[in-house]
Structure 1
Amino acid sequence: MKETDKQNQHQGNYTYIVKCSDETLYTGWTNNLKKRLEAHNSGKGAKYTKNRRPVELVYFEEYDTKQEAMKREYAIKQLSRQKKLALIRSHQSIF
């Protein structure tokens, strides 16, 4: 099996932030980041992002379990916009 095939089989759990077309931020979690971004941008993602397309991935974290990702999603959602922006800025070197 090729290395890229092995990487594609790995299903992590991700907490992510997208920037919407109206400059608002949306935080969510998924076990397939690429598919989730495609869903957001096709209007089949969250109700919040449906009318705020296109969205752009600006931040993500990977976790071993769904529970960890969901817990982190909740914690990020409790942050102010300014603290979310600071979190994004502190990790922009990953993009």
Structure 2
Amino acid sequence: MTNKPEGVIGITDNIEERIKEHKLKEYPKSFTAKYNCDKLIYFEVFENGNES
């Protein structure tokens, strides 16, 4: 998630729920809420998070 062309990398096993959490700022003290990062710019699907 980002608010600019450069972003922060994260991993999740439920992309739909994670995007919803970011958009609704469910964790108001989080980095993405603090800096208003609410745009998904890229994602990849992996069988295992260790593959990323």
Give the Cα–Cα distance (whole angstroms) in 1 for the partners of residues 33 and 44 of structure 2: 23
Asked which structure has the greater CA Rg, the reply is 1
> Shift of residue 54 of structure 1?
5.0
Supply the RMSD in Å over aligned alpha carbons. Answer: 2.1
Structure 2 stretches lacking a partner, 5+ long: none
Would you say the 8 A contact 1:26–1:49 is kept in 2? no
TM-score normalised by the chain length of structure 2: 0.71
Judging changes above 3 Å, is the alpha-carbon distance between structure 1 residues 44 and 26 closer, same or farther for their aligned structure 2 residues?
A: farther
Higher normalized helix content (fraction of residues): 1
Q: Select the structure with the greater relative contact order (CA < 8 A; seq sep ≥ 6).
A: 2
Structure 1 runs (4+) deviating above 4 angstroms are none
Structure 1 stretches lacking a partner, 5+ long: 1-17, 73-95
> In structure 2, what is the equivalent of residue 32 of structure 1?
14
Q: What is the number of equivalent residue pairs in this alignment?
A: 50
Q: Secondary structure at the match of 2:9?
A: strand
Judging changes above 3 Å, is the alpha-carbon distance between structure 1 residues 26 and 44 closer, same or farther for their aligned structure 2 residues?
A: farther
Corresponding residue to 1:42 among 9, 24, 27: 24
Q: Deviations over 1:34-91 (max 9, x none)?
A: 11011112223581101222511110111001322xxx2xxxxxxxxxxxxxxxxxxx
